[in-house]
Amino acid sequence: MMLIHCPYCDEKRPEIEFAYAGEAHIARPDAAEQQEMSDAQWSEFLFIRDNKRGEHCERWWHANGCNMFFNAVRNTVTDKFVKTYKMGQKRPSASQISKWNEGGNV
Amino acid sequence: MSFDIKIDQGVEIPEVLQSGRVVAELAGEKVRLSLRVKSADRTAVAKALGFTLPAKIGATSSKVGITCACLGPDEWIVIADQDKGGKLYGKALKLASKYDMSVTDVSFRNIGITVTGEGAADMINVGCPLDLRLAAFPVGSCTRSVYEAVPILLYRRAEDSFTVECWRSFAPYVVGLMAAHRSGAAST
Ligand SMILES: [Zn+2]
């Protein structure tokens, strides 16, 4: 079992308290935008994801803890959590992620 | 609003948990209030209620018959004895019309099981992977977590005493698991 750092609890907690919640930083179109979207665009928003190999920004939910959603950079090959951060923070740049990686930050 | 309804918990503590290194008991009916309060109003609401709403997730405050735990950034649970709870609920409801907050009576969602004795932390750890060493989970800590597959609320009342709360419908399962661990593992 992994320990995952929750940025709200500010603690490493057992993996089974968390639930994965898909790719992060996908903004939901607002009501007006939705009216303008074609079916193809809408299905793209709903279903099409990068499915990235390597460092992936994704949402996690501390369901059996503080009940908050947060974002994480996780390597989809090694399963290493590079960093977790609060909702509302910007998607980290590639150079930021490599800096975290060098720092051994989890 | 009256809270003195006594309902059958439908849970019995098996004999194996009634004596020895770990003793389990039902905590009795409590009043449970779920509070959501915006941070700007936290101090004012706490002052009006008469106890602290701790700002740190996992921290608790307590006074006679009332325990208040911070479960999330804007979420607290208040667990009170029945003689305190009714008045508290009325007070909180009034505050909710004045401040940026909500209050929900969740008294009958959970039941509490106290687990006490020198083997208490071991018993919890059989089903819950939290770090329960005193330094990591000191007396007064309270958090949601899991026991086997069951969502729980875990509160450390003293070094060797915990309260495990779970949904009422799960309680026979949780108590049964504890009894199985107790009788199956000599070290527990
Ligand atoms: Zn958390």
How far, in Å, are A61, A82, B129 from residue A18 at the CA level? Answer: 5, 16, 13
Domain boundaries, chain B: 4-28+109-183, 30-105
In this prediction, residue B183 carries a pLDDT of 87
* Residue A70 distance to chain B (closest CA, Å): 12
Phi, psi (rounded to 5 degrees) for B3: -115, 10
Interatomic CA distance for residues A103 and A31, integer angstroms = 42
Query: Predicted confidence band at B23 (pLDDT cuts at 50, 70, 90)?
Result: very high
Query: H helices within A1-106, ranges in order?
Result: 31-36, 39-47, 94-102
Written as one letter, the residue type at A102 is E
Give chain A's contact residues with B (Cβ, < 8 Å).
Answer: 1, 8-11, 13-14, 16-17, 64-68
**What is the strand order of the sheet B75-80 is part of?**
B60-63, B66-72, B75-80, B31-37, B101-105
Residue B59 DSSP SS3 = coil
pLDDT at A46 over 90: yes
Which CATH fold topology does B30-105 show? Alpha-Beta Plaits (3.30.70)
Interatomic CA distance for residues B10 and A20, integer angstroms = 35
* Residue B72 distance to chain A (closest CA, Å): 4
* Residue A79 distance to chain B (closest CA, Å): 20
In this prediction, residue B188 carries a pLDDT of 45
Which among B57, B75, B129 has CB closest to A9? B57
How far, in Å, are A103, B8, B93, B158, B165 from residue B179 at the CA level? Answer: 46, 21, 40, 22, 16
Query: Predicted confidence band at B16 (pLDDT cuts at 50, 70, 90)?
Result: very high
Structural domains of chain A in order of their starting residue, each with its CATH number: 3-26+52-102 (3.30.2270.10)
Retrieve residue B73's tokens: 């950034």
Read off the pLDDT of each residue in B91-115 and give the average, rounded to a whole number. 96
Q: Is the ipTM of this complex over 0.85?
A: yes
Across chain B, mean pLDDT equals: 92
In this prediction, residue A1 carries a pLDDT of 85
Retrieve residue B33's tokens: 């209030």
Which among B73, B129, B151 has CB closest to A1? B129
How many Å is the maximal CA-CA distance in chain A?
45
Interatomic CA distance for residues B70 and A66, integer angstroms = 9
**Taking the alpha carbons of A65, A71, A73, A76 in that order, is the dihedral positive or negative?**
positive
Q: The whole model's pTM is what?
A: 0.92
Strand partners, B113: B26, B164
Read off the pLDDT of each residue in B45-58 and give the average, rounded to a whole number. 97
**pLDDT digits 0-9 by tens, B141-159:** 999 999 999 999 999 999 9
What is the helix, strand, coil percentage profile of chain A, to 5? 25, 30, 45
Q: Angle at the Cα of B69 (from B63 to B75), degrees rounded to 5?
A: 135
Residue A37 DSSP SS3 = coil
Which among B73, B144, B145 has CB closest to A8? B73
Distance, CA of A57 to chain centre:
4
CATH no., domain B4-28+109-183:
3.30.1360.120
**Taking the alpha carbons of B102, B107, B113, B114 in that order, is the dihedral positive or negative?**
positive
Q: Does B20 touch chain A (CB under 8 A)?
A: no
In this prediction, residue B6 carries a pLDDT of 56
